[in-house]
Homo-oligomer: A and B are copies of this chain.
Amino acid sequence: MSGVAGTVLTAKGRATRARIVEGAAEVLRETGVDLATLDDVMARTHTSKSQLFHYFPAGKDELLLAVAGYEADRVMEHQEPYLGCLDTWEAWERWRDATVQRYEEQGDRCPLGTLSLYLGRSTPGARAVVVTLLRQWQAALAVGVRALQEAGRLPASVDADERAAALLAAIQGGVGILLATGDAYHLRVALFQGVADLRRLATD
């Protein structure tokens, strides 16, 4: 991890940078990306302007991109410990319920979505954060489908990557509709049906 391009941070520097990103994420969740200022972040994180620009030389956009990466990590973390161990149907159901519940609680706010829109789809950095998250998420789901296969709960003929891709699309679509309508109905139905359809392929 580097602050000024090419500068490797010390352990203490990394901790300070992480503290700024975490505080900035809190400020953005509370205030919104349009209204939050660097002064808010400095006050929240007890950081001086020179410290802030030491870690984020390009200023607000660089900090926002770091927050986007932090929020993407949270998306994955909030699915644990379920997502990391999807080798039984009970585990899949627990993951499904936890995921639906998290988005129901979050409602029509989505920190990563808001940040991506603000930074712009055309900003390569913001796009890369989203693309990386989608790839990790789908890979974790594919590992889960393969775990079912290895445990003899699904036939080997099931295409784990396609099932994972379709589940990811169901989540993204459900969350997208939640953001547009404020209602998690589609997310819930799509995810319950996705897991049920997968289970219907099971070997008895």
**A51-59, A149-157, A188-196 - interface stretch:** A188-196
Interface size bracket, A side: 20 to 34
Question: What string of 1s and 0s marks CB contacts (under 8 Å) between A117-144 and chain B?
Answer: 1000100000100110010000000000
Chain B CB within 10 Å, residue with most, of A117, A131, A187, A189: A189
Number of copies: 2
Which partner residue on chain B sits nearest A174 by CB separation?
A: B169
Question: What string of 1s and 0s marks CB contacts (under 8 Å) between A154-188 and chain B?
Answer: 00000000110110111111101101110001110
Complex interface: chain B residues within 8 A of A170 (CB): 166, 169-170, 173, 190
Residues of A that sit less than 8 Å from B by CB: 108, 116-117, 121, 127, 130-131, 134, 162-163, 165-166, 168-174, 176-177, 179-181, 185-187, 189-190, 193-194, 197, 200
